[in-house]
Chains A and B, each alone.
Chain A
Amino acid sequence: MSHLFRGLMPVCRKEFLHIVRDPGTLVFALLLPMLQLLLFGFAVDTNIRQIPTVVFDESQTQDSRRLLESFASSDVFQLKSYVTSKEEMYESIRAGKVRVGIRIPADYARHLQDGTQATVLVLVDGSDSNVAGQAISTSTGVTLRQSLLRILPDGKMPIEVRPSVLYNPATRSANFFVPGLIAILLQVMTILLIALSVVRERERGTLDQLNMTPVAPLGLMTGKMIPYGVLAFLELCAILLVMRLVFQVPIHGNTLLLLALSLPFLLTVLGLGLLISTKARSQAEAFQLAMGTVLPSVFLSGYIFLIENMAPIFKAISRIIPATYYIRILRGIILRGAGLKELWADAAILTVMGCAAILLAARQFVRERTH
């Protein structure tokens, strides 16, 4: 067994020395994810509020003003400007100054008094489908409520919905996005650090030298994984601290379990980094390959889009993306207080993936050696 890992200790020691000797890289590696966390954590807010709206009120009555008030009080619309012609209304939407236009026709109040049907035009800029969807559903709700209030004599609704949101009661998007972001940031940093450390050795010829020594491929690889794994783990702790203190995202589950179940993910991304290092001939190439793992991990891991809504092919792809499982672990523990009982399978899959990546990389190292 020991000869399989020959050279582990000296490589590990040396790698720690490299890290200490190059504080620039160290700071860059640790600080950059933190900055990105702060940047994206604050920037990403999927809750749609205060959509800029233009109003063309031809009615100019108490009735029309009451309707507009209920639009404004929904918090979804921000009545930004008032215009006096249809053309002006279209123009401000086209110019991108507003995303919604509300036109109340001159006969609005008269129809209401007559008991005949009054119409209100809501123009929606469909270029952002989320905004458009929110605008349509809210405007429908607002007018429906106004209609019912007119019909019902005492203003009491027959059915009242009382939504109660579990786990993230304020539906703050930071709570949902920051845990996922942890997976992405940790992945990029770890893959890059370890892949570059191997490629640097290849570029400088020290890898050739090591191949002539009794160092075993697994010894070399584990010797590199330990220092960069420790570094990534420290970064994870720092990120969790920022999440807790800056974004005020509570961890509902067991923090120690979260740290423990992060290890299989670190194993996997370290393995991926090594695999990339066997393919990359230069540092630039390693950088590109590492960045190539980002987009699938962002879009197909459930970080942004629900996996349940994906086409079967993308669903299948999501299953081979490590971030999918780690995001499940992160959200499970942080948001829902899930335990090992619910998450062991995800951790097991990550462990298997990690071992597979490492063995594949080891095979590549042996091949490279013998050519």
Chain B
Amino acid sequence: MTAAITAEHLTIRFGALTAVNDVSLQVNKGEIFGFLGPNGSGKTTIIKALCGLLAPTEGGGTILGMDIRRDAAQIKRHVGYMSQKFGLYEDLTVAENIAFYAGVYGIHGAEAQQRKQEVLELTGIESYMNRRAGQLSGGWKQRLALACAIIHSPQVVFLDEPTAGIDPVARRALWDLLFRLSGQGVTFFVTTHYMDEAERCGRVGYIYLSKLVALGTVAELQRFPDANPAGTTRLQIKIANPSSVLEAVRQIKGVREATIFGSFIHALVDTDRIAALQSQLPEAGVETILPSLEDIFVTLTYKIMEASQ
């Protein structure tokens, strides 16, 4: 597999502030890479650097083999970008927005016509051609934004929180689209706060306090040592009225984390205390589970917070 995106020891500082600290990653061609992390952790800065907008302070990277320091102008022509704000002109129609971005990417004449037709069909937005972008619903705006971001047939597309504030049906529709495009070889770099979206990604990275603290497939991360501290086990506790007993469970000796998942409590427990826990909760059904992505990120975050204190 060839790499579409690489970052090697990427470090970006603004004065005394280190926005990105020694991040190395690789995204393969046709892969959908999920990038997670709290707001302000450096996600957008990394995207800007990979698009060639920001020169890294140290380290470097490539997009489709082009160097992000030297070939910034080239990179922009081969990369698509869609932000949470969508970057649409609300007083312009759907067709005018698409035509504008086609022009901006230097696509003219017959080629422009053909590409417009392709993205319209792909996103299914054709019937809204003459509607002002501002009058579209969130889901349709998002599809229009994607249509604009891929008008120049980019091989790599960065999506910065593309589904924030979008209803679940529209979210699923967008992901179906992403899978279709990735099937055609387009590489996606997607930042999101939604764990279910992250779990759809081939591989995920988690950035916290400017550092990449986890990187791999979901299955790999579930076995990641830092996410499963030695001597602990993740349990799913089946108990009546979990919200009323959650605090009590948290107080039990050996319980490191506990949170509610529907009608269950998920807990990270010292393995040698499981028997004691069971005896304190005689009516509960206890079984061992693998951590969810959220579990993993929460555990990692706590670990770093403890270490920095």
A-side residues, CB < 8 A to B, are: 3, 6-7, 9-11, 13-14, 17-18, 21-22, 204-206, 208-215, 369-371
- Type the 1/0 row for B60-84, where 1 means its CB is closer than 8 Å to any CB of A: 0000000000000100110101011
- Type the 1/0 row for B77-106, where 1 means its CB is closer than 8 Å to any CB of A: 101010111111111100010011111111
- In the bound complex, do residue A206 and residue B103 qualify as a contact, i.e. CB atoms below 8 Å apart? no
User: In the complex, which range does the number of interface residues on chain B fall in?
Assistant: 20 to 34
Q: In the bound complex, how far is the Cα of B103 from the Cα of A370, in angstroms?
A: 23
Nearest-Cβ distance from residue B78 to partner chain A, whole angstroms:
10
- In the bound complex, do residue A369 and residue B88 qualify as a contact, i.e. CB atoms below 8 Å apart? no
Q: Give 29 A-B contacts (CB < 8 Å), ordered by A residue.
A: A7-B103, A7-B104, A10-B103, A10-B104, A11-B104, A13-B100, A14-B89, A14-B92, A14-B100, A17-B92, A17-B96, A18-B89, A21-B92, A204-B85, A204-B90, A205-B83, A205-B85, A208-B85, A208-B87, A209-B85, A209-B87, A210-B87, A210-B104, A211-B53, A212-B51, A213-B76, A214-B77, A214-B106, A371-B14
Q: In the bound complex, how far is the Cα of B14 from the Cα of A272, in angstroms?
A: 28
Given A205-B83, A205-B85, A371-B54, A213 and B96 contact (CB-CB distance below 8 Å)? no
Nearest chain A residue, comparing its CB with the CB of B101: A213
CB within 8 A of B87: which of A21, A206, A370?
A: A206
- In the bound complex, do residue A215 and residue B83 qualify as a contact, i.e. CB atoms below 8 Å apart? no
- In the bound complex, do residue B104 and residue A215 qualify as a contact, i.e. CB atoms below 8 Å apart? yes
Nearest chain A residue, comparing its CB with the CB of B87: A209
Which residues in A have their C-beta under 8 angstroms from that of B99?
Answer: 10
Given A205-B83, A212-B51, A13 and B103 contact (CB-CB distance below 8 Å)? yes
Nearest-Cβ distance from residue B49 to partner chain A, whole angstroms:
10
- In the bound complex, do residue B88 and residue A206 qualify as a contact, i.e. CB atoms below 8 Å apart? yes
B265 in the interface (beta carbon within 8 A): no
Q: In the bound complex, how far is the Cα of B96 from the Cα of A18, in angstroms?
A: 11
B55 in the interface (beta carbon within 8 A): yes
Q: In the bound complex, how far is the Cα of B85 from the Cα of A211, in angstroms?
A: 14
- In the bound complex, do residue B76 and residue A212 qualify as a contact, i.e. CB atoms below 8 Å apart? yes
Which residues in A have their C-beta under 8 angstroms from that of B87?
Answer: 205-206, 208-210
- In the bound complex, do residue A214 and residue B76 qualify as a contact, i.e. CB atoms below 8 Å apart? yes
Nearest-Cβ distance from residue A22 to partner chain B, whole angstroms:
6
Which residues in B have their C-beta under 8 angstroms from that of A18?
Answer: 89, 91-92
Q: In the bound complex, how far is the Cα of B101 from the Cα of A215, in angstroms?
A: 10
Q: In the bound complex, how far is the Cα of B51 from the Cα of A346, in angstroms?
A: 44
- In the bound complex, do residue B73 and residue A369 qualify as a contact, i.e. CB atoms below 8 Å apart? no
Nearest-Cβ distance from residue B108 to partner chain A, whole angstroms:
10
Nearest chain A residue, comparing its CB with the CB of B91: A21
Which residues in A have their C-beta under 8 angstroms from that of B100?
Answer: 10, 13-14
Nearest-Cβ distance from residue B176 to partner chain A, whole angstroms:
24
- In the bound complex, do residue A209 and residue B91 qualify as a contact, i.e. CB atoms below 8 Å apart? no
- In the bound complex, do residue B73 and residue A214 qualify as a contact, i.e. CB atoms below 8 Å apart? yes
Which residues in A have their C-beta under 8 angstroms from that of B103?
Answer: 7, 9-10, 13
Residue in B51, B54, B104, B105 whose Cβ sees the most chain A Cβ within 10 Å = B104
